[in-house]
A and B are shown apart, each in its own frame.
Chain A
């Protein structure tokens, strides 16, 4: 399956991925000028932190969040293998937040649902990779990536 690779040499910590994820995916208005001022504020699903590094859901082969979710809200798409939150049934119990080893699941700002990257499941290409100005984010096959030498 394809995963998002982050090239740490290229990540400048510019936060564009967070900004556009928040605008294109998380907001209601899908327009930067309006999304900025939406209440409750949109929660981007990618996190630019640390040295810096853009981190989002790894869509683990054995996902702790899938085990932790008590009502099947956290699901895996059988075709793509992507793990996503079925928001209408989320009861905000935060079990997934508690078990995610990457810390990339977050409560929504209204505290009503768990928010997690779904690799832009309903779009052609992940928006974070599309907007990254240095090309630090890209989609590669999981196996290939592990063979890369750095």
Chain B
């Protein structure tokens, strides 16, 4: 089936598309077209493969198969689809924090601040067991009270994750209860991220760093390693240290770019992760699991790039591993001298890795409560082949900044925006309107138009939101803040969206969550969540809406334009 859409807004990436076609290299976009149309039942959350009496569907147009063999109806099927995504997403966060903890407790790394690190690790270990009671004190009482009333305050892996996962195995839980299990699981992952942020600070220290982004950072003149995806920061640091000794360059794709004192230039964002290999300038890639396309291994082979996976069954001692990686990279470089270099001249400066501590949160809170800016938008997520790469992120950011909305970003969304200068402090005035520019000048040092709060595994956004709540003395649900996953694809992002809603921040998520087969679930995500948390998870079904129209739609919310077609507005609780 044909799918006519511009594949990417990134010119550097676009250059490689015809080249890949000529060489017969299949990319994610080609495979996507081959998949179309994707199963409508699964897209609507109306399918289930949880047991071998299936696979079952709930057929919206026929009576014979409206319920699964075991009796799951369409509402159950849809909300369980969501639950399964959240469970996987939370496990991603737990995996990351466990790796990090192991890297330190194994003695392979000495944290910068040993006492703080020890405290952080103790909290993490408690969370992974029975839940960390201390963590509750980090959250406003009203929020904790709301969560406890709903039964979703995290209690530890067994209760939050294992128990939640059993909802799909059977039982008579209602759609509402199942949804709350999903929230509970999401919050566990979010807490883990917050604690990881604390551990990162204790182990490495945190400070914003200047990085260059996009493929132009590669030069092909010396051995170059690309780190793909998420894996232990301890290992990353060791690779960087070993590489620095040998003057080997280490850059990254879909991985935290700031790890003091090292930076890993983000060479591209998720959607085009296969393309840096085509520059010929990469000699070795180190792959984690999360965020890595299996296809990179095949393309690496095509360009004689060495591939080293970190998440292996038998594991390795990190020092030796890091050293062997660097050695291999050097060898690969020698071996690959004759491979043609084709490096696009695309490079942009970005200041990344801010944290709440680097910002004058009080000034921001005042600007919001006094109406100097209309609100705050959190841009999160990762490219999705269903959209023109980066276009939704950039369009939203640009339109928001022009209309007086402060923009925060995180993770891969930041990398996408950075490619277009939105994280370049020198271009701040170019992108923002006066109100936002003034605030940025006052609220921190050298702030760019969009403030990157770090990779999501470090819980930077959550920390910022809590600081904002404290500084403004208002509940988050009363502040004009919206989260926009303009392009998203990972289960971790679904879990994050749920967390933001539970905290009182209404969230837009694209593509539409797979729950559209159940009007009940959609109602729970809007009406019920609004009641319990003061925020909604917006399930937006219009597949054809252009990014500009989405921006305008959200700006209408910030500007409190009444929309007769919307049953109620995300801004019902916002206080002027």
Contacts and interface: CB of A to CB of B under 8 A. Distances in A.
A41 B60 contact: yes
Given A32-B44, A36-B517, A18 B61 contact: yes
Contacts of B40: 16, 19-20, 23, 32
Give the interface centre of B40, B44, B62, B542 by most chain A CB atoms within 10 Å.
B40
A22 B1 CA distance: 18
Contacts of A133: 37, 39
Interface of B: 1, 37, 39-41, 43-44, 46, 57, 59-62, 512, 516-517, 519, 541-543
A31 interface: yes
A90 B521 CA distance: 38
A31 B519 contact: no
Nearest to A127: B37
Contact of B41 (A15, A31, A33): A15
A86 to B, nearest CB: 23
Contact of B60 (A31, A35, A130, A131): A35
B61 A22 contact: yes
A26 B541 contact: no
A34 interface: yes
Given A14-B39, A36-B517, A131-B37, A42 B44 contact: no
Given A19-B60, A31-B541, 7 more contacts: A18-B62, A20-B40, A23-B40, A32-B516, A33-B516, A36-B60, A133-B37
A41 B63 CA distance: 10
Contacts of B541: 31, 33-34
14 contacts: A16-B39, A16-B40, A19-B40, A19-B60, A22-B60, A31-B541, A31-B543, A32-B44, A33-B512, A33-B516, A36-B517, A37-B60, A41-B60, A130-B1
A41 B59 CA distance: 11
Nearest to A131: B37
Contacts, number: 52
A35 B96 CA distance: 41
Contacts of B542: 31
A19 B512 contact: no
A35 B542 CA distance: 13
Given A20-B40, A23-B40, A36 B62 contact: no
Given A31-B541, A31-B543, A33-B44, A20 B37 contact: yes
The 4 closest A-B pairs by CB, nearest first: A33-B541, A33-B516, A22-B61, A36-B60
A43 interface: yes
A134 B15 CA distance: 33
Contacts of B46: 36
Nearest to B512: A33
- Prevailing SS type, chain B contact patch: loop
B61 A43 contact: yes
Contact of A19 (B59, B516, B519, B543): B59
Contacts of A131: 1, 37
Nearest to A41: B61
Given A31-B541, A31-B543, A32-B44, A26 B61 contact: yes
Contacts of A16: 37, 39-40
Nearest to A44: B61
Given A16-B37, A20-B37, A37-B519, A32 B61 contact: no
A31 B540 CA distance: 12
Contacts of A23: 40
Interface in A4-33: 14-16, 18-20, 22-23, 26, 31-33
Given A31-B541, A34-B541, A18 B37 contact: no
Contact of A36 (B1, B39, B512, B516): B516
B328 to A, nearest CB: 41
A4 B116 CA distance: 70
B76 to A, nearest CB: 15
Interface string A104-118: 000000000000000
